[in-house]
Amino acid sequence: MIKEILARIKQGYRTLPFPFEKIKLSERYKGYPKLDFSNLKESEIEELLSVCPNSCIYKDAGKINLDLGNCTFCAICEKKLPQAVKFSKDWSMAFSSREDLILSQDTKKKSYVLREEIRKLFGRSLRLRQVSAGGCNACEADCNVLGTPAFDMGRFGIQFVASPRHADGILITGPVSENMYTALIKTYRAVPDPKIAIAVGACAIGGGIYRNLPKVKGISEEINIDLYIPGCPPNPITILDALLRFIGRIK
């Protein structure tokens, strides 16, 4: 036991200063995209629409949109046409509305609008039951790491619990496979009212790269999603930032 205590003293304070201080993420990190399609030639527009492997970039009523909810942040579009798409280092990109994840060059980034009832109910304590609904374990891993000393989301009163009956809501990862569809609905129903639901990652939000597969059913309409956190997978800082904004701990 003495060896363990000495080792812990030697390690020192390991928790990141986020959200109280700015932190620097990896140079490879891809965050909220900046879009500018105004100077593209017709041939470049056609290339841009065809380059995305997940069909996240599309034209609607003559306007080019990027669906951040289905985006896997592969950055192929940025490599092909950096003048049109540029991924920033902005990790704060979670929203309460699915429509807010549809971006165009005219979109002005919205700050997350906190629902007052959420702050009153869960502002000091939030317990979540995490449901892996057919995911690849990438989003699941980045959620689990939030419990480690580096992120320590427990200091903000946020914890994952073992039973939905002990939870305030569910956090969903994965595209919701056919085999997990009923289990997800039962888990949601087991959470006592009032309850919340959070979709984490491209798969949970819109199916991701699996959305056109026959065994992928997606989240049931019975489950009302209160928070969407995009990414493939979202960085742990993105997830923690979203949860803290969701309960009103940061603005």
Residue 75 has φ and ψ, to the nearest 5°, of 65, 20
Query: Distance between CA 78 and CA 85 in Å, rounded?
Result: 5
Mean pLDDT within 204-224: 90
Query: Distance between CA 77 and CA 42 in Å, rounded?
Result: 16
Task: Tell which residue, 98, 90, 119, has the closest CA to residue 24.
Answer: 90
Q: What is the structure's pLDDT at 117?
A: 86
- Categorize the per-residue pLDDT at 214 as very low, low, confident or very high, splitting at 50, 70 and 90: confident
pLDDT, tens digit, for every residue of 77-96? 999 999 999 999 999 999 99
Q: Residues of the chain with pLDDT > 90: what percent?
A: 66
pTM for the full predicted model: 0.92
Which has the minimum average pLDDT: 10-14, 25-29, 178-182, 231-235?
Answer: 10-14
How far out from the chain centre does Cα 28 lie? 18
Query: Distance between CA 133 and CA 140 in Å, rounded?
Result: 10
DSSP assignment string, 137-162 = SHHHHHHHGGGSTTT-GGGGTEEE-S
Take residue 247 and report the two structure tokens written for it.
């309960």
- pLDDT at residue 102 above 90? yes
Length of the chain: 251
pLDDT, tens digit, for every residue of 11-68? 777 788 899 888 889 899 999 999 999 888 889 999 999 999 988 999 988 899 999 9
pLDDT, tens digit, for every residue of 57-80? 999 888 999 999 999 999 999 999
- Categorize the per-residue pLDDT at 219 as very low, low, confident or very high, splitting at 50, 70 and 90: very high
- Categorize the per-residue pLDDT at 113 as very low, low, confident or very high, splitting at 50, 70 and 90: low
What are the structural domains, with CATH classification, of the chain? 116-246 (3.40.50.12280)
- Categorize the per-residue pLDDT at 111 as very low, low, confident or very high, splitting at 50, 70 and 90: low
Q: Return the SS3 of 12.
A: coil
Mean pLDDT within 223-231: 95
